[in-house]
Amino acid sequence: MFSKRSGAIAGLATAALIALSPAAARAQDFINVLTGGTSGVYYPLGVALSKIYGEKVPNTRPTVQATKASVENLQLLQQGKGEIAFTLGDSLAAAWTGDEEAGFKTPLKKLRGITAIYPNYIQIVASKDSGIKTLADLKGKRLSVGAPKSGTELNARAILAAAGMSYKDLSKVEYLPFAESVELMKNRQLDATLQSAGLGVASLRDLATSVEITVVEVPAAVVDKAGPPFVKATIPANTYTGQAAPVQAAAALNYLVTHEGMKEETVYQMTKAVYESLPDLVAAHAAARAIKLEGALDGMPLPLHPGAARYFKEKGLKVGS
C-alpha cells in the first residue's frame, strides 16, 4: 500500500513539474501586438486589442509594443518577433513584393493578411504663421514627414511626387514621429507636419489647441495622380480646433496582418474578436468607427491567413482561393 501511495504522490509531483515546465508555459500563446508611436492611432487601438484578446482568445498572453509603425512592424513579423501588426496598405504591398526604396530589400513572404481596418488620412497641417495654404506653398519650408521609411514617410514621398515636388524642394526635412513633430512646431522650429493617421489623431489635436493651424488641401487631381492605394477623402469641418471648413485630402487603408507561423485556430479567434468587439475599439479611438465587416477584404495585397479566411467564409464574404 505504501509503495502505491508513494507512486501516486510521485505521479502527482511529476504532473506538477510538467505543468510548470517550459512546454506547459508555451501552451499559453504569446500575442505581441505591434503598433506605432504612442501619440498615433495604432497604439491606443493596439492596447484595446490586447485587452480584447486577453478576455476573448483562450490560452493567450497578449502584450503591446510601441514601434516606428508600418515598415518596422512588417519586418518584425517576418522575423517572428510579433504575432499581429498594424500597417498601411502601401507599406504592406511594398513588403510583399520587396520594394527596396520602401525599406524592404527582399519580399517578406511569411506575412499573411487578417483584415482591412480603417483609412489613414494624409493630414498636412501647417502653422498659420508659416503662410502655408497649399501644397505648392511647402516649397522652401520646413516639413516633418514621419519616422524614416515609416508608412507616413512613404505617403509623404508619394503625395509630394504627385504634386510635382520632392524633398529637395523643401528647406528642411525632419524624420520625426508625430509627437516630436508637434513639439518642434510649437517651438517654431518647423513649419508643417505630414501625418498619416486616423481622423482626430491626438498629436494634431494637441497642436491645434496650442497654435493656430492651417489644414492643407490635397486636391483630387493630386490624389488621382498618386493612384492606388490612395483614394479621395474629406477631413470634416471642426476635426481640429480652428479648422472651420472641410478639407479635401488623400486616404489609404490600414490593415492588420500576421505571419504564416500562427495557428489557424488562434488567428480565427483573433479575427472573430476584432469584429465582436468593435465598440471597445471605437472607445479606444474614433478611427475604429470605419472598421466594417463588408470592407474587411478591400484591397488586400497578400494572401489571407487561413484562420482569418475561415472566419470571413463563415460570415458569407467571398474569399479568394
Residue given cell 503625395 in the structure block: 159
Question: Of 1.10.3720.10, 3.40.190.10, 3.40.50.2300, 3.40.605.10, which CATH number belongs to 30-118+254-314?
Answer: 3.40.190.10
Does pLDDT of 16 surpass 50?
Answer: no
Identify the pLDDT of residue 295: 92
Does pLDDT of 17 surpass 50?
Answer: no
Give percent of the chain with pLDDT exceeding 70: 91
**163-to-155, 197, 200, 282, 310 alpha-carbon distances in Å:** 12, 20, 25, 34, 42
Please write the tens of the pLDDT for every residue from 121-175. 999 999 999 999 999 999 999 999 998 878 899 899 999 999 999 999 999 999 9
Q: Is 120-252 CATH 3.40.190.10?
A: yes
Give the distance from CA 180 to its chain's centroid.
18
Please write the tens of the pLDDT for every residue from 91-132. 999 999 999 988 899 999 999 999 999 998 999 999 999 999
Identify the pLDDT of residue 18: 39
Identify the pLDDT of residue 12: 44
What's the pLDDT band for 321 if we cut at 50, 70, 90?
A: low
Identify the pLDDT of residue 40: 87
Identify the pLDDT of residue 228: 79
Does pLDDT of 28 surpass 60?
Answer: yes
More confident residue, 6 or 293: 293
Q: Round to whole Å and give the CA distance between 225 and 65.
A: 35
Q: Is the pTM of this model over 0.95?
A: no
**Tally of helices (H runs) and strands (E runs) in the chain:** 12, 10
**226-to-136, 157, 158, 296 alpha-carbon distances in Å:** 16, 10, 6, 23
Does pLDDT of 13 surpass 80?
Answer: no
Q: Round to whole Å and give the CA distance between 255 and 203.
A: 21
Please write the tens of the pLDDT for every residue from 41-84. 999 999 999 999 999 999 999 999 999 999 999 999 999 999 99
Average pLDDT over residues 208-234: 94
Identify the pLDDT of residue 231: 85
CATH 3.40.190.10 in the chain: give the residue spans. Answer: 30-118+254-314, 120-252
Please write the tens of the pLDDT for every residue from 257-313. 999 999 999 999 999 999 999 999 999 999 999 999 999 998 899 999 999 999 999
Report which of 291, 292, 288, 317 is spatially closest to residue 304, judged by C-alpha positions: 317
DSSP-based three-state secondary structure for 252: strand
